[in-house]
Amino acid sequence: MLMQTEETEIQTTANDQPGNVVLRIHHLYKSFGSNKVLVDFHLDVIRGESLVVLGKSGSGKSVLIKCIIGLLEPDEGDIEIFGESISAMTAEALDKIRARVGFLFQSNALYDSMTVRENLEFPLRRHWIQVSQQEINDMILQALDDVGLAHTIDMMPAELSGGMRKRIALARTLILKPEIILYDEPTTGLDPITSREIIQLMMDIQDKYNTTSVIISHDMNCVRTASDRVVVLVDGRCYALGTFEELSRSQDEKVKQFFA
């Protein structure tokens, strides 16, 4: 288990696998007025891993993931995706990076006035990628098949259950074949059975496409099942970093509170 105060140890972990760091966060600060949400946050994410960020409600987990995708601008620090600093990017360059980074919103963010087909078409038409209508149709069918909901293609979001809406939102995330997928509380509001199904689907997708996953969660079943490594976010910092098993054995009270 590595602590945020041991910065050199965290850097050594990433350096053990040179060239495989796809997301690197340096000295990240983010405040809202006097509320310091992220404080000197550091993190390296390795290609192909599933990393869970664990923290209390209001601890800054969602702020972190929105900074990563460029929806929020940090006060200080830098975020590199695929070796490029997003703070130095033009709007066009950032849009191209976003085509390689999928984001599953906690609320799903489906358009109620659009069919499932139209929801999945939206990112294809918004991004710079040039594809024919036949290619669009094929990509939609593949994404829906990946989440087991091909039969819903002409349905409206209101006709779907909560678990089905989550799957459709994931299908929309998959449509551009992202190399990194950011999940914001993917099991929130779902019953235990549906939560387990979504977690398994996330793992199946990672295995099929070799994606890198960053998962924001306080669902300990999700943390236990889906993580290769876990970051414990405390006081805006990467307070502890390790596997679920390592962290669950910690005697540090700030870590133990999550695994009790």
Residue-wise pLDDT tens digits, 64-83: 999 998 889 999 999 999 99
Distance of CA 170 to the CA centre of its chain: 11
Radius of gyration over every alpha carbon of the chain, rounded to an integer in angstroms: 18
Question: How many residues does this entry show for the chain?
Answer: 260
Evaluate if residue 17 carries a pLDDT over 60: no
pLDDT of residue 152 exceeding 80: yes
Burial per residue of 81-99, b for 16 or more beta-carbon CB atoms within 10 angstroms, e otherwise: beeeebeeeeeeebeebbb
- Report the sign of the C-alpha dihedral through residues 13, 17, 23, 27, in that order: positive
DSSP helix/strand/coil, 256: helix
Instruction: Answer for the pair 158, 149: CB distance below 8 angstroms, yes or no.
Output: no
Average pLDDT, the chain: 88
Mean pLDDT of 168-175: 92
- Strands (E) located in the chain: 2-3, 21-32, 35-46, 50-54, 76-81, 84-85, 101-104, 180-184, 212-217, 229-234, 237-242
| pLDDT tens, position by position, 131-144 | 788 989 999 999 99
Q: Starting from the edge strand earliest in sequence, which strands make up the sheet with 35-46, in order?
A: 35-46, 21-32, 76-81, 84-85
Provide the pLDDT confidence category of residue 53 given band limits of 50, 70 and 90.
very high
Coil, strand or helix at 59 = coil
Buried b or exposed e, range 241-260, using 16+ CB within 10 angstroms: bbebeebbebeeeebeebbe
- pLDDT, tens only, 234-257: 999 999 999 999 999 999 999 999
> How sure is the predictor about 6, in pLDDT bands with cuts at 50, 70 and 90?
very low
